[in-house]
Structures are given as structure tokens and as C-alpha cells.
Chains A and B, each alone.
Chain A
Amino acid sequence: MKLKQLPETAIPGGHYRIEPYENWLLHDAVGAEPHDEPHPIYGFIVAQSGLGISVAELLELFGSHAEDGPMLGECTIDYHRPLVTGAEYSVRGAVTSAERKTGRTLGTFDVVTLQQHVSSDAGQPVVTTTSTFLLPRKETR
């Protein structure tokens, strides 16, 4: 996949349900007191995990692999409606930009921005996330 083709690439999209026990485990994993309402970081998790492809497959789409040391550079989460446990959410996403850069720390790397839209089963917007990934490249293409 060429870098300039990434913004034209379709991502399948999928579904995600926040199970109450996963919400409990998530709270514990980030050191927070368990809470019935989903932890607000689920805005990111639902968008990522419900995208219809795994993180590994997403990185592969970007021409990267976990072993390359990919990093999350920036993230914006817009909350339109409260997230609830047990509800089924639909997720769709698209790459909005992709460019190559060079820096002192990472050397040559790609900056890929992904926007994801989370909707309720009634089609109402719930969360929008915009994530920027930094993908180190050992070689230029």
C-alpha cells in the first residue's frame, strides 16, 4: 500500500458492545475504582475495537507492524451522547491524512490520521475519535 493511497482506503467497520465485566476489568486495569458507567476511555476503545479489523490488521493496512514500534501521537475524543454498557454500537472509520516526515528521535516515520465514528443502533452519533499514529520506517519506499 502506497502512503498516498491510504486516505482512499476503505476500512470495513464493525460493531462493539461494552460488557459490564469488561468495564469492571478496564477500570481495574487503569487503576480506577469500579463504576457502573463505562470509563470515558471507552470512547477510544469502542472506536478502536469496533472498527472491524484488529490493531494488527490496522497496522498492516498502514504498512506497519507491532514490532516496528508504532506510537499514538495525538488523540481527540468528541462525546456526543453517553456510552452505556450492554448497548450495541456501530463503528466506521477512514484515514483522513497520511504523510512522511523525518525527525531526530524517530528518523523517517509516517504520520497517519484515522477518524472513527461510533453510532448507536438507532444511528445516532455517540462518539467521534481522531487518532494520529506515528509509524517509524526503517527504509523509505
Chain B
Amino acid sequence: MNDQLLPGWELQGVDERRMKMLALVLRDPNPIHYDAEAVRALGLGERPVNQGPANLAYILTMLRQAFPEHTLDRIHARFLGSVYAGDHVIAGGRVRTTSGTASGETVTCEVWLERRGHGRVVQGTATLRCPVLCAPDLR
């Protein structure tokens, strides 16, 4: 399973209205997430900027789909760039190491979020535990 690419998870068109909902859930007052004028004033572009936790959530959703029965132990992420309203993003990953025990496997994956046409905007590592045969599509 080492070096196995995980099935990607895509979102075609990051929705500005969903960013506004997330600003409420997070109680995040940063106007760059809901006010394009604030984004322009800061010289960050023309469209609202997606929240960092949303970008990380896309990766976590990808992992949940790739390993339906997994228990997540850790995720580390570096935020390399911004995602803007309307962007097409693809969360991906690759298995790097596995180690088996009687109760299952510990799997370490390189994970990322790609902003289509602009490269990776989040890069990280996830460690999770799977019961034996929890991810038959990867074998």
C-alpha cells in the first residue's frame, strides 16, 4: 500500500455563501472571508479568501472517504497559499508508511490541497489507524 495514491476529493467552485456560513460558525470576524472590498483594500486579490480551517477540512473529508473506518490520530498542515471564492480545489494524498499490529494498521499519509491551475496551497501529513481490511480499495 506504500506510495498508493488516495482517491481525490474535489470541490468545483468554492462557494462564497458557504464561506459566510463558516465565518458565522467559526465566529471569525476577518472581513477577507466575506467582503471582496476588504480583500481588494489589503491587496490580496479580487475575491473573498477561503478560511484556512475550510481548506484543511477538505483534506479531512478526503481521508474520511479513503479510509471509512479509520481513527485519526494526528494531522499537521502548512498553509502555503490562499483559496478564493470560485476556485476549483482538489484534496489528495499518498500513503507513505504502514505498520501493522494485531488490531489493525497505522498509516501515515502525505496529504495536500491543490488549487487547480495554481499548485498546492496546503501540504501536510496525517497519521491514522485502520482496522484490518478497512480500506479494501487501496489493496
Across the interface, do B25 and A40 meet the contact criterion of CB distance under 8 Å? Answer: no
User: Once bound together, how far apart are the Cα atoms of A29 and B64, in whole Å?
Assistant: 17
**Contact string against A for B residues 3-36, beta-carbon threshold 8 Å, 1 for contact and 0 otherwise:** 0000000010001001101100111111110000
Across the interface, do B44 and A30 meet the contact criterion of CB distance under 8 Å? Answer: no
| B64 contacts across to A, CB distance below 8 A | 32, 35, 40
B53 interface residue, CB < 8 Å from A?
A: yes
- Please give the residue numbers on chain B whose beta carbons come within 8 Å of chain A beta carbons, in ascending order: 11, 15, 18-19, 21-22, 25-32, 38, 42, 44, 52-54, 56-58, 60-61, 63-64, 71-79
Across the interface, do B78 and A70 meet the contact criterion of CB distance under 8 Å? Answer: no
Q: Identify A29's interface contact among B21, B32, B60, B63, CB under 8 A.
A: B21
Expressed in whole angstroms, the minimum distance between the Cβ of A43 and any Cβ of chain B is: 8
Q: Given A31-B58, A75-B76 in contact, is the A41-B53 Cβ separation under 8 Å?
A: yes
A72 interface residue, CB < 8 Å from B?
A: yes
Across the interface, do A74 and B28 meet the contact criterion of CB distance under 8 Å? Answer: no
| B78 contacts across to A, CB distance below 8 A | 73-74
| A73 contacts across to B, CB distance below 8 A | 78-79
Across the interface, do A75 and B77 meet the contact criterion of CB distance under 8 Å? Answer: yes
| A39 contacts across to B, CB distance below 8 A | 57, 60-61
User: Once bound together, how far apart are the Cα atoms of A44 and B25, in whole Å?
Assistant: 12
| B74 contacts across to A, CB distance below 8 A | 76-79
Interface residues of chain A: helix, strand, loop or mixed (majority): mixed
- Please give the residue numbers on chain A whose beta carbons come within 8 Å of chain B beta carbons, in ascending order: 22, 25-26, 28-32, 35, 39-41, 44-45, 48-49, 54-56, 66-67, 69-79, 82
| A49 contacts across to B, CB distance below 8 A | 26-27
12 example contacts (A-B, Cβ-Cβ < 8 A) are as follows A28-B21, A31-B58, A40-B75, A41-B60, A44-B56, A48-B26, A69-B44, A72-B53, A74-B79, A75-B56, A75-B76, A79-B72
Across the interface, do A54 and B79 meet the contact criterion of CB distance under 8 Å? Answer: no
Chain A residue nearest in CB terms to B21? A29
Expressed in whole angstroms, the minimum distance between the Cβ of B62 and any Cβ of chain A is: 10
| B76 contacts across to A, CB distance below 8 A | 74-77
Across the interface, do A55 and B29 meet the contact criterion of CB distance under 8 Å? Answer: yes
